[in-house]
Amino acid sequence: IRVDKRVPIGGGLGGGSSDAATTLHALNRLWGCGLDVDALAALGLQLGADVPVFVRGRSAFAEGVGELLVPIELPRRTYVIVDPGVSIPTRALFQAAELTRDGAATTIEGFISGAATQNAFEPVVRARYPAVARALDWLGESGRACLSGTGSAVFVAVDGDKARGIADRCPPGMRAWVANGINVSPLLTPAGDQQR
């Protein structure tokens, strides 16, 4: 299996988990295994906590270690995503002594509305990775900048007509993309046999 990596490694964007989920789907079809999405998600969980959400291929609110997924419908948004040029090892952040887990619980409603944007990793990442702090500060000039997962990528939801202009002003040493949010993966919908 050859993978053409386009999602920055260590960016907190789920690139590796997405690759694993896509591989599970491809092998299931190629080998004619006939496994349903639930079985593929269970296999995916053995590979990584974020794999099941990519196996299911739709927006979801995750609990537990990522295995408890509630399908949700998110409003259509346009995002500017910035890669500050550093890779962050997830394991090190989960083991960080300064990581606090005493924040208010996020609700599905708060998540969908965008009101709940707290990320417990942000203070740790800001302190340990100055490039990420700079990216958050710069992108924060355009709206509520957020850390993606454990980082290093950061993003902001903006009006679609403003996104390209923001991305084009990305500071040297960083890369920016414009992405439109979707609720169902286009890779899974054409098949019609993969029900979520």
What single letter denotes the amino acid at residue 8?
Answer: P
d(CA 174, CA 104): 32
d(CA 100, CA 49): 20
Q: Is the pLDDT of residue 177 over 50?
A: yes
Question: Per-residue confidence at 190, pLDDT binned at 50, 70, 90?
Answer: low
- What are the pLDDT digits (tens) for 142-157? 999 999 998 899 999 9
